[in-house]
Structures are given as structure tokens and as C-alpha cells.
Structure 1
Amino acid sequence: MGEIEVAIGILHWFGMNLAPRFTNLHAQLKHLYRGPDQEGYADFLIQPVGQIDRHLIAVEKSNLDHIAATLGLKEMSQSVLVRKICTLSGHHRTRKALFEYDKLIRTIYTLRYLRNPQLQRDVHRWENRIESYHQLRSTIAQVNGKKELTGRTDLDVDISNQCGRLIANVVIACNSMLLSRLLGRCMPTGNDKALDLVRRISPAAWQHLHFLGHYAFRDKRNPLDLEAVLAGIGWE
């Protein structure tokens, strides 16, 4: 077991949800666990593979709270902390409680995912957006033929990474403004074909951009003329 196996539980501590997409739903049946009532599942179509030790989670709550506080105060990164926990003996009570808690949260999410087709579609869209963003970042990083971050020191690499993030965010912000203008232009016309096309365009698209072109930094007195950019776009 490693960091991935406990990520769902750890994020749940901080009010966030890790919502993975399951490509093989049948395989997820091996990760469904139950409470103490074994007889209550006798007639269920999907059978749990084991029991969650909720008592252990309750007993180890103070230690789990300490782990959460360590992460919340950023005294240690999640990857480092989880690696340390995973080096402990499999019989270590706090380690076992952490994985038991993750089983609980993962089981709840998996059951919701299996029962809710809309959640499955939403997760699919979210992951596609994340993938689009990563592709945009990769394209920016490879400008001038470079395939990785530049810099000789950790600070130089971090600056290079943050510059890439800034450019990507500017691209997404600009695309969002353009798409909002297009959407506002299409809605009064009742052109369903145009509306559907606009809604399918990703704000992370970059095929219309030339990253080796001229970068113009404007102030509030000389904003980007969005209407001029969209002047040549029409709908049949």
C-alpha cells in the first residue's frame, strides 16, 4: 500500500474529495467493505469483501488528528508523511487505522459512483479538463524545442514552472472571456448548432495560439479588444 491508497481518506480530512474515474467498475467491487453487521448484506447483489475496523479508527483518532494537523500546518508534505507511515509495521495501530479510514471513505464514494450515472459523467468531464490543462502546460514547456523545465538550481526550476503556470492561466482566462462573448452573441439568435459548438470548446485550447509570437503586456488603459478578435467569426 502507498500514497494513492490513502489519498481519498486524507483529502476527506480537509473537506475535499478525490473523485477518480473507474475504467473497470467490476474491479472496484474488490474494494467495498462493510460495517459490523454481516447478516445485513446476505441478500445484496454486491457483497463486501471485508469489514472495516471502525473501533480502531475511533481509538486512534487522536493520532490521526495529529497526522492531519501535521499536514495542515505544512510541517511535512503528504508524500513524505505517507511514505514514513508505510514503512511502519503492518501491525502498527495508527497505520492500520489510517488505511481503515480510507477504506470507509473509498467505499462510500465507490457506491455513490456505481449508483449515480451523472456522477460518472461529471468525473469523466473533470478528468478531461485536467488532462487538457496538462497538455497545455506540456506544450508551453516545449516551446523552442525544450522538453523539460529550465534552470540549474531548484529556484530556477521553480521560477520556470511558475512562469509556465502563469502563461497557462492567461491562456485560459483569455479563452474564457472570448467564449463568454461568443456565448452571449449566440444565445439571442437561438442558433442551437452554434450554442452547442461554443459549449464544447475547451478554455484550455491552444491550437489558435502562436507561442513564439509577440507577447504584449497591456495595462487597464489599453485592454485587449475582444470584439476585434472575434470580428471575423460568423455562424452559418
Structure 2
Amino acid sequence: MADRLTVSAALLWISCALLASVHGHGMALDPIARGSRWRCNPSALPNYTDNELFCGGFQVQWGTHNGKCGVCGDNYGDARPRLHELGGPFGPGDIVRQYVRGSVIEARIRLTANHRGYFYFDLCNLDVGGAEDEACFSQYPLSLADGSRNWVLPSTAVGEYRINLKLPDSLTCSHCIFRWTYVAGNNWGYCEDGSGRLGCGPQETFKTCSDVRIVASNDINPSFAYCTKAV
């Protein structure tokens, strides 16, 4: 019996290790993320691995940096500005979308590998002297149209997902950063109640940043368009 338990425990550990090494993949297409702008505008610097902004990978994020991630999905250990931050190669700050304050907007996310889990979204307002950091993003957590915070993946299918989000009623900005975060749920771990199951404990994390403008309804520019082709 003891040998059987030992073998079972070993198999469970191997399974967890394998799960931790398998990467999900995804990108934000609307508003288009900094590293994905080349997909809709040929003037943008191409990043052919724009679906891999997973904080350097599970082992780097959790084994080396104790869960920390660059604010826009880069390896936390990289020197700032990191690749996808303002001032980095993929972060020139080009505004890609404009929205009306208080409106319900549709975010479009493409997953090329689905590892369960959930999405959430935040805004950082740079107009008020804010820095591109976690403190700035924490000021404007976005709610889904139904008022909830997290959008749980309804299936394990790859492809595009569309999520309705409510913008703050009082926020306008000439430069805000829209951030998508994807917390996967494909790893086995211990839950807060002490039990263990898939989706608990440390998980692979994705983050992307998009540069947007939020205006009052009478300030909307109907001719504004960053993308020159559909994605």
C-alpha cells in the first residue's frame, strides 16, 4: 500500500511539473496590444512572438521572481524600460483606440493555446503624472458589463473571445494604458482551504498593454483610426 502511494505521489508530481512547463498563448487584438500592432499597421515594429508575454515563463515568474511580472508581461528581471513598456522597442506610446467615458466597450482576445483560467482588465491614467506601474493600474480596475471583475473562460477552445467592459464614468485621458491579464488555470496546486486541485496555487500569467484615449462624447474624433487593416 505504501509503495502504491509513493508511486501515485511521484506520478502526481511529474504531472504537475509537465503542466507547469506547457505554455498557453494569447494576445489582445482590440484594443491592439503594443507587441501586436504590426498585425494591423505595417509601420509598427513586428514581434513574431507577441502571444508569449507570459512574464518570462512559469519557472522564471514563480521560481526566480516569486510571482512578480513586468507590468506589460515581460520578464520582471529585465532592465526597465522592458521590451513592451513605454520607452522600450515595442512601447512608443502610439494611441491605437479612442473610447467615450462611461461606455461599454468590447475587448477582443485571441488565444492560440487555451489553458483555462480567467481574464481581468485594468487602466492606468498617465495624464495625472502617473507612472506605468502597478500602483497606477490599481486605481482603475475595470468591471465586466455585469459588474463582476473576472471573466472566466467558458471552454478550452482556442480562437477569439469578446468581453464587454464598463469604462469609468468620470475618467477621461489623452493617454491611458489598457491592460489585459490572463491567469491560466492549468496547473495543479493547493487552494486556500488546504485542498489541492487543478487551477489552485501559482499559475502561468500573461499581460499585455495597449495605448488608448478616453474622451467625453462631444470630443470623439470619428475619423481616428490606427489600424490600416483588419486582424
TM-score norm. by structure 2 comes to 0.20
Q: Which has the higher helix share?
A: 1
Bigger radius of gyration among the two: 1
Q: Which has the higher strand share?
A: 2
Structure number with higher relative contact order (C-alpha < 8 Å, ≥ 6 residues apart) = 2
